[in-house]
Amino acid sequence: MNKFKILLAASMILVGCTPNIKTYTNQYGEVYDYGDCCRFELPEKPIPKPNKPTLQTTLDRYIDEPNIFNAFKVQSASKPHQFQSQLRTEPYITKQLETTALLSYLLYEDGRIVVDQVSPSNRFGEQLSDSTPLPSRSVGKTLTSYLLGHAICEGVIDSLDSRIDDWPMASGTIYDGQRLIDLVNMRAGDQNFAYQNRVLVPEENPRGIRHVPLEQHFRYAKGNASDRRYYNYNDFAVNTVVNYISFKTGYRYKEFVTEFINKKIGNEHPLYILAVDGNKAPPSGTPDNGVHISNFSASRYDFLRIGRAMLDDWQNDTCEGKYLKEIYERRQRKDRPDPRHQRDLREHNWPNYLYNSYGGYFHTDLYKAPERKIMAMDGFGGQIMVIDFENGRIVLTNAIYNDFNWKRIVRDVMVNGKI
């Protein structure tokens, strides 16, 4: 199979080129089965649109992910960060929660939560509580970047310009000797080996990045990176950074992450750091074969605590805040040359295409407010967190899949400051 066909197959899976639909019945009713490609999540744009039993069944799978992919559990902080609130109810958010797959909406402004609404009990509320672990998807990329910044601040890694030239697992691969800044900007010249959540294996179907340890993927990524470097959004690069941080901590990744989450984030509920299918992290200090991935599961308020910590670091100019400002300054345009990407970028037809640049695993340069220091995390299925570092505003959505009006309740709130 040539590279074009591999990329086409991968993109068909990702955007929801749905196979023949089968159905089955469970406690919720008739459920649509979208096939093996969608075993753990719905297609991005499923056909037909999922009914309520299908959404309820998918939500159960999401909530159960820590039991399937769990590398380790970060216990609650001894002193969780406590939010202040000055709440108002937004009728349009209420309507979205009643009629779409949106689970939770949080709006944080000027140091307090001002909108806090969840799916009602007759929709998905009976499956949810404030402690329910919800999936991060690509929001996990941004937490990885934040952890990298902390590793630099702690002296575990020298800088964003440090090269991956001391890690035996990466020796001889496309990432050997590469700068971290190129990996976190998704410009590592890896487009012949990875695309979105797939590793491109010659003469085989694209492989899901989170189903085998990184070491196995590295076997197919030998040789040099492409001399032509452009924006290539993929999970291969971020999971390389995850496992490089683990290596640099002396394979004490659990302790490193736990201390950071407890002290910096102040999590109220357990947060689950995920691993590849069926793999567990080995005992502390023991080398592994790259089982860690960037995905995590957390409660909706703990998602907001992550964004709040980033905002506080930026505004207080801490070491991690200086790191966030550096990755913002070193962002680069999304210059992927293929026509479809450029069309989507012009049409702004999906949340991550609202942003013209990318840096440090953040989407940047919101096209409707390019002068503002706004940085976004966009996770598959409607997991969205956007931070306006200048105006002190955070918008957070958690969802089963993205059928809600994200332009109105996320983009426009960032641009205009109101729903």
pLDDT for 9 equals 43
Interval 293-352: pLDDT, tens: 999 999 999 999 999 999 999 999 999 999 999 999 999 999 999 999 999 999 999 999
Q: Which pair of structure tokens corresponds to residue 13?
A: 């899976």
Which homologous superfamily does the CATH classification assign to the domain defined by 70-156+243-416?
DD-peptidase/beta-lactamase superfamily (3.40.710.10)
Taking only the tens place, the pLDDT of each residue in 153-172 is: 999 999 999 999 999 999 99
Residues 6+ apart with CB under 8 A from 322: none
Tell me the CB-side half-sphere exposure of residue 289, using CA atoms within 13 A.
Answer: 11
At 246 the pLDDT is 98
Q: Average of pLDDT values for 44-59?
A: 94
Residues 294, 297, 302: CA angle, nearest 5 degrees? 110
pLDDT tens readout for residues 258-288: 999 999 999 999 999 999 987 778 889 999 9
Structural tokens at position 118: 């969840």
324 and 149 Cβ atoms separated by less than 8 Å: yes
Per the structure block, which two tokens stand in for 7?
């990329």
The CATH 3.40.710.10 portion of the chain extends over 70-156+243-416
Strands in 393-399's sheet, in edge-to-edge order, are: 84-85, 112-118, 102-109, 393-399, 383-388, 374-379, 362-366, 355-359, 332-333
Mean of per-residue pLDDT scores for the chain? 93
Size of the chain, expressed as the number of residues it contains: 419
Residue pair 187/224 in contact (Cβ under 8 Å)? The answer is no
**Which helix (H) or strand (E) element contains residue 329?**
helix 319-329
Q: Is the pLDDT of residue 149 over 50?
A: yes
Render pLDDT for 192-219 as a digit per residue (tens, 0 to 9).
999 998 888 765 666 788 888 999 999 8
pLDDT digits (tens, 9 = 90+) for 3-16: 434 443 444 444 44
CA 348 to CA 354: how far, in whole Å? 5
pLDDT the model gives residue 54: 97
pTM here? 0.94
In this prediction, residue 70 has a pLDDT band, given cuts at 50, 70 and 90, of confident
pLDDT band at 40 (very low <50, low <70, confident <90, very high): confident
